Structure 1
């Protein structure tokens, strides 16, 4: 009968999506998501249901939803709608047309339990083990950098800002738990300085200072394969250089060289790297009030050619993945950014496997 769906229509449509390059289908073929089950079950601590009750959704399927959200920048409500709407999402999650999909509240609660348990770091480490087992051993040195991730701006008075910086809850907010839940006391303002542009008459504009409110994603990637190996999250005002000594360097990298921009050059960092067997290729700073020596300029140019490999990581996260923080508090921001870093590594593995003809 005309207009009535055929027996193989869904399978034909899914095959067509695969032929067109369904990203989630590539994820499923390259990554065995069952590897995350032990970490997920340990973090969630589901009961044995001895007293009955409705069984929870499969934790691996729920984790796949978080991967979908991180890869497509979806809110919980939007994710609920698209899971019910898109065949590619259903296939990735293992859902049929007649199966019940989790709603927005269930997705939020699942992510909250992982955040409270601090499980994102363990999930990231588990996938890094799988990447190494696949032959992508970190070698040829590492590149360190940080990127600002914007968060919802807070409209606070000067007194409230002073209290927040001092670690106090403003008096006007005390006794108002609903208001406190909407106030991000962990994110900070910082300034991003743009380079001055030259006018037509040869003079230059003043440097542009752009205020940004949010957090920083600090990462270390291996030079050869481009995977994120170490990461951390701070408020936007944190100094990049101080993070170098806070566990950001990957000691398992088979080469000891570290590339970074001049924000990471300090006597403390140089002494730390020297004491732990790292070779510094950190950019040198321009002497104050004097021109940079030609040999130093050439050295920085050579370092920039290597260090530039970290920029596509941030551009991919902010471009294709449209990474931003909509949550309140650094714990949730760390979970959101950590999931984005893990999802980037999944994308990176798919890229390498396809290039090698293994997927």
Structure 2
């Protein structure tokens, strides 16, 4: 074990446990480390080729903390120096070198280059399926807009050409869309795609299905999704447009339809939970990078992490280490 610095020793002796510490302790227990390390290890730099690399597990933990806490590469480096709980979670000490922002950047680019984010989601979901937490009998499809900087005050003097603007209600947005397929039984995300913000939700519908579901729930933005030959044979429960329901004459038929729409909406609401975790819990409300590819890698990783966060109480219960719910 490496020698602790005075600061780390003083931190270890304190009594109060912060919410961040509790969050990191829970994540330490529920993340399938071996599964993820086995995925990355074949492409991770080996010792003997230049400067010895940092331990893979430590760099993976740094990468995950970047996503959980919404930190840039420079901010992540500073956090490792300044925040003892984050430094200890990654296994670093002030008495030994800590990864600089370039090393942190290179690790992220390694995952992007080998397109490992989708496989991270797939392996996390495989792990959750084996735990009986992801059933895939039905799917909720939904989408959300992730804003991008609209300013042209940058080196290129232009906005990101892969991002576009769209109007939602009476407001205009500029950025990208994250489209998800959510398991009806668990509320966990099984599929993620991204597009520019102006892409219609319905065009992504078939890419959000895993092929084994029996029923699909969607809002009115997916009207017509059931007409595609590739999507037939499924039971589609698409919301009616509000205007069409309001225009119906008062009577029993309208009441029955309103009750059916309310029931469908209550199920679709489960599809909003992953968005809440990503945007509110992890603070991801604006894209960090330029172009869809890099942002897609981060979005997919965030939904993999949101699955683990939403399933954490059940996973901790399986280990007998259930703690009260906390926020990071």
Are residue 64 (structure 1) and residue 61 (structure 2) matched?
yes
| Alignment correspondent of 1:149 | 146
Matches within 5 A, 1:192-211: 192-193=168-169, 209-211=170-172
Residue in 2 that maps onto 1:159: none
Go from structure 1 to structure 2 and tell me whether the alpha carbon gap of 1:216 and 1:340 turns closer, same or farther (over 3 Å shift): same
Which residue does the alignment assign to 2:70? 73
1:334 aligns with 2:296: yes
Residue of structure 1 aligned with 2:162, choices 158, 180, 186: 186
Tell me if 1:129 matches 2:126: yes
TM-score by length of 2: 0.84
Query: Which of 231, 235, 238 is the aligned partner of 1:279?
Result: 235
Confirm whether residue 236 of structure 1 aligns to residue 197 of structure 2. Answer: yes
Query: Alpha carbon RMSD of aligned pairs, Å?
Result: 2.9
Question: CA offset at residue 329 of structure 1?
Answer: 0.4
Residues 196-241 of structure 1: per-residue CA shift (max 9 Å, x gap): xxxxxxxxxxxxx111111111111112222111111111111101
Q: Of the two, which has the highest radius of gyration? A: 1
Deviation per residue, 1:277-324 (Å, 9 max, x gap): 421111123576981461333321110011111222212221121112
8 A Cα contact 1:144 1:219, kept in partner: yes
Structure 2 CA distance for aligned equivalents of residues 6 and 103 of structure 1 = 20
Contact 2:180/2:189 (CA < 8 Å) preserved in 1? yes
User: Secondary structure of the residue that 1:149 maps to in structure 2?
Assistant: strand
Query: Are the aligned partners of 2:137 and 2:212 in contact in 1 as well (CA < 8 Å)?
Result: no
Q: Look up the match of 1:263.
A: 221
CA distance in structure 2 between the aligned counterparts of 1:72 and 1:41, rounded to whole angstroms: 25
TM-score between the two structures when normalised by the length of structure 1: 0.78
1:315 is aligned, of 266, 276, 293, to: 276
Task: Give the Cα separation in 2 of the matches to 1:261 and 1:19.
Answer: 36
SS at match of 2:237: strand
Match of 1:30 in 2: 30
| Residues 66, 264 of structure 1: alpha-carbon distance in 2 compared, 3 angstrom cutoff | same
What does residue 326 of structure 2 align with?
Answer: none
Unaligned 5+ segments in structure 2 are 322-328
Deviates more, 1:309-318 or 1:134-143: 134-143
* 8 Å Cα contact 2:20-2:85 kept in structure 1: no
Q: Is the 8 A contact 1:222 1:228 kept in 2?
A: yes
